[in-house]
Amino acid sequence: MLRLCFVFVLIAAAANAADMLTGRIKVIDADTWEVGGLRVRLHGIDAPELDQTCEDAHRATWSCGAWVTHVVRQNFGGKRAVCMRRDTDRYGRVVASCTVQGADAGEMLVQVGLAFAYRKYSGDYIADEDRAAAAGVGLHAGKVQAPWLYRGQKRKVASKGCDIKGNISSKGVRIYHMPGQRYYARTKISPVKGERWFCSPAEARAAGWRAARQ
């Protein structure tokens, strides 16, 4: 009986070892890291996409996705992580809970307002997000679209071919830009500001936008 228990202990230890990843962190974006040569999606959190914009307390648009990634890279890049595998996502990434210097990385990111609790998949960090939002720290100091909603909107635009950019100028003028026009490439769309994509010029005009002059 004792020998049988010992065998079970060895099997459990081997299973845990197979699910554990360790290594130096290379930050791909705020919630996606490379650890020990494997792409890891941090469990239970979601952070703004690299190209995502937000609105600050003064209603000015800023590149919150790039900022969050930069801050995470500065604070975690090169440090050693210990990660426990939980799943594999549809992109083939390992979904894992990671600790850095003994602290839960996901928890730290949510607590300081660099990421949100990914409530669709986990309830682990909801209380941390609620406290961060109440304190107005990090992203909660302004207005930000939930990353999963931002990605959903981008997929919808791509699937419909709706590539006309409905921009709102600093003077509040609603202007739509067609692909190929002079300022199309540099025009950024911020949904939190009320800007949007259109599928046709007629749709844009009906919504109150006018055509860009060049």
Tens of pLDDT, residue by residue over 81-98, are 999 999 999 888 999 999
Q: What is the CA radius of gyration of the chain?
A: 22
pLDDT of residue 60: 85
39-58 burial, b if ≥16 CB within 10 A, otherwise e?
ebbbbbbbbbbeebbbbeee
Task: Decide if 40 contacts 94 (C-beta within 8 A).
Answer: yes
pLDDT band at 190; cut points 50, 70, 90: confident
pLDDT at 119 over 60: yes
Beta strands in the chain (DSSP E): 20-29, 32-35, 38-42, 45-46, 54-55, 61-62, 80-88, 94-100, 103-104, 116-117, 164-168, 174-177, 196-198, 210-211
pLDDT at 52 over 60: yes
Among 13-22, 34-43, 142-151, 172-181, the range scoring the smallest mean pLDDT is 13-22
Residue 94 in tokens: 């390992």
Quote the pTM value. Answer: 0.72
> What is residue 25's three-state secondary structure?
strand
CA dihedral sign, ordered 176, 158, 192, 59: negative
pLDDT band at 15; cut points 50, 70, 90: very low
pLDDT at 154 over 70: yes
The more confidently predicted of residues 54 and 154 is 54
pLDDT band at 10; cut points 50, 70, 90: very low
Domains of the chain: 2-141 (2.40.50.90), 161-211 (no CATH)
Residue 143 in tokens: 């207005």
State the chain's mean pLDDT as an integer.
88
